[in-house]
Amino acid sequence: MTDFVAVNEVGPRDGLQNQRVAVDLAGKLRLIDALVDAGLRSIEATSFVSPKAVPQMADADVLFPRLPARSTVAYSALVPNARGLERAAAAGVGEVALVLSATETMNRKNINLGLDQAVDVCVETLKSARALGIRTKAYLAVAFECPFEGPTPAERVMALGERMLEAGAGEIVVADTIGAAAPSAVAALFRRCMAAWRGTPVSAHFHDTRAMAIANAWAALEQGVRKFDASIGGLGGCPFAPGAAGNLATEDLVLMLEQCGYHTGVDVGRLRRAAAIAGELVGHPVGGRSSAWLAAQERRAAG
Give tens-digit pLDDT for 101-119.
999 999 999 999 999 999 9
Band the pLDDT of 137: cuts 50, 70, 90: very high
Going 269 to 270 to 275 to 281, the CA torsion angle's sign is positive
Band the pLDDT of 267: cuts 50, 70, 90: very high
Catalytic position from the list 122, 193, 238, 260? 238
Could you give the CA distance from residue 279 to residue 286 in angstroms, rounded to a whole number?
A: 5
Query: Which comes out higher in pLDDT, residue 243 or 144?
Result: 144
DSSP 178-227: TS---HHHHHHHHHHHHHHTTTS-EEEEEB-TTS-HHHHHHHHHHTT--E
Going 235 to 171 to 204 to 68, the CA torsion angle's sign is negative
What's the average model confidence in pLDDT over 129-140?
A: 98
Q: Which residues contact 199 (CB under 8 A, 6 or more apart)?
A: none
238 is catalytic: yes
Could you give the CA distance from residue 293 to residue 274 in angstroms, rounded to a whole number?
A: 17
pLDDT over 90, % of the chain:
93
Residue 54 has pLDDT above 50, yes or no: yes
pLDDT of residue 274: 98
pLDDT of residue 211: 94
pLDDT of residue 133: 97
* Inter-CA distances, 34 with 74, 130, 276, Å: 15, 31, 10
> Residue 240 in contact with residue 147, Cβ under 8 Å?
yes
Give tens-digit pLDDT for 224-243.
999 999 999 999 987 766 66
Residue 76 has pLDDT above 60, yes or no: yes
Element counts in the chain: helices (H) and strands (E): 11, 10
- List the Cα angle 169/171/172 in 5-degree steps: 95
pLDDT of residue 303: 79
Going 133 to 118 to 213 to 60, the CA torsion angle's sign is positive
pLDDT averaged over every residue in the chain: 95
Residue 38 has pLDDT above 90, yes or no: yes
Q: Which residues contact 33 (CB under 8 A, 6 or more apart)?
A: 68
Q: Going along the chain, which residue ranges are E strands? A: 6-9, 42-47, 74-78, 95-101, 135-141, 145-146, 150-151, 172-176, 202-206, 227-230
pLDDT of residue 147: 93
Question: Tell me, which fold does domain 6-302 have in CATH?
Answer: TIM Barrel (3.20.20)
Could you give the CA distance from residue 24 to residue 21 in angstroms, rounded to a whole number?
A: 9
Give tens-digit pLDDT for 250-263.
999 999 999 999 99
Could you give the CA distance from residue 294 to residue 273 in angstroms, rounded to a whole number?
A: 11
pLDDT of residue 243: 64
Give tens-digit pLDDT for 149-198.
999 999 999 999 999 999 999 999 999 999 999 999 999 999 999 999 99
pLDDT of residue 1: 40
> Residue 9 in contact with residue 35, Cβ under 8 Å?
yes
Strand duo 74-78 + 42-47: pairing: parallel
* Inter-CA distances, 224 with 20, 190, 303, Å: 37, 8, 41
pLDDT of residue 241: 65
Residue 93 has pLDDT above 80, yes or no: yes
Give tens-digit pLDDT for 147-163.
999 999 999 999 999 99
